[in-house]
Amino acid sequence: MPSGSFFGKMETAGDEMKSNEEAIADIIKDVFSYIKYLFLSKEEKCAANLGLVNEKYWFQELMNNKPRLKDLLEKDMQFKEYFSSRKNVRKLLRDKDERAMFKKWIENK
């Protein structure tokens, strides 16, 4: 079997195809996850979104500083509405100003 640069490129192309196949599989998995999310109840959406926020350091610190916050999040309807919205949670996770507003909102409760 000849060993030239052409065959090396073929192996690289095969690796790229594998990466593309993995990427497509990941996209399909994400689409099905999103569809599954769409059919969750408000309580389940709230729990899933709260789980995303719970992973963040700033939220863990907030929970440690305000132990009553967990009860407030579970019982307050405004917080449930806020956390059942994917748009609100995504904005909270990436926007510094939104986090500051959220912290002020908690202070006022």
Q: What pLDDT does 74 receive?
A: 81
Amino acid 94 reads: R
* Domains of the chain by residue range: 1-39, 41-109
d(CA 66, CA 56): 16
Q: What pLDDT does 57 receive?
A: 92
In DSSP notation, 50-64 reads HHHHHTSHHHHHHHH
- Below-50 pLDDT ranges, the chain: 1-11
Q: Look up the pTM and report it.
A: 0.66
Give the tokens for residue 71: 């009860």
Question: How far, in whole angstroms, is CA 64 from its chain's centroid?
Answer: 22
